[in-house]
């Protein structure tokens, strides 16, 4: 399992390096859309993702992911529970945004080096659970 995660991350890095334009903006790379989540969705994964989310993401996206806090509104943070995914909606695209940040102005900094790739995949699974939760 660890080898498949490392291989997916290596492919992700190559894909990102190939598609990041010189302007510094990071559009959802086509290669990222093809990256498969190596961490199966489970109650344990969602719970682990929630722990990381509450520590790292809550300030900007709100405790429920709805971007309904004063800070979130000021930053124009994305509502993670709605149907609008301007930076891509596949697991791979979400993973890239978590790890590399969200351009063009990068108000959301990437978490590479701050959280493990496996934790980022857990966060992807947790975000998916938010969209499925009743509003």
Tokens 């399992």 label which residue?
1
Residue count of the chain: 135
The per-residue pLDDT for range 92-104, each reduced to its tens digit, is: 999 999 999 987 7
Query: Are 32 and 92 spatial neighbours (Cβ–Cβ below 8 Å)?
Result: yes
Give residue 125's pLDDT band: very low, low, confident or very high (50, 70, 90).
very high
Alpha-carbon dihedral sign for residues 74, 79, 84, 88: positive
pLDDT higher than threshold 50 for residue 24:
no
Q: Which CATH architecture has domain 2-132?
A: Orthogonal Bundle (1.10)
Higher pLDDT, 79 or 85: 79
User: Could you give the percent of the chain with pLDDT greater than 70?
Assistant: 76
What the block records as the tokens of 39 is 């961490």
pLDDT at 48: 98
The full set of domain ranges for the chain reads: 2-132
What would the mean pLDDT of 51-56 be, rounded to a whole number? 98
The Cα–Cα gap between 87 and 32 comes to 11
pLDDT of residue 14: 38
**What is the structure's pLDDT at 107?**
81
Query: Which residues, 6+ apart, have CB-to-CB distance to 65 below 8 Å?
Result: 53, 57, 79, 80, 81, 127, 130
Mean pLDDT of the chain: 82
| pLDDT above 60: residue 117 | yes
CB atoms within 10 A of CB 76: 8
pLDDT band at 127; cut points 50, 70, 90: very high
- pLDDT given at position 28: 55
Q: Can you give the pTM of this predicted structure?
A: 0.77
Please name the residue ranges forming H helices in the chain: 2-19, 30-33, 43-56, 58-61, 70-75, 91-100, 117-132
């Amino acid at each position: 399992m660890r080898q498949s995660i490392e291989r997916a991350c290596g492919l992700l890095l190559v894909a990102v390096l190939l598609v990041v334009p010189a302007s510094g903006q990071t559009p959802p790379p086509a290669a990222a859309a093809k990256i498969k989540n190596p961490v199966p969705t489970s109650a344990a994964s969602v719970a682990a993702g929630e722990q990381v989310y509450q520590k790292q993401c809550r300030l900007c996206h709100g405790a429920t992911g709805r971007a309904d806090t004063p800070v979130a509104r000021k930053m124009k943070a994305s509502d993670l529970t709605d149907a609008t995914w301007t930076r891509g909606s596949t697991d791979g695209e979400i993973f890239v945004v978590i790890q590399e940040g969200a351009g063009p102005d990068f108000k959301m900094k990437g978490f590479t080096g701050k959280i493990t790739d496996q934790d980022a995949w857990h966060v992807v699974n947790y975000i998916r659970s938010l969209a499925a939760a009743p509003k």
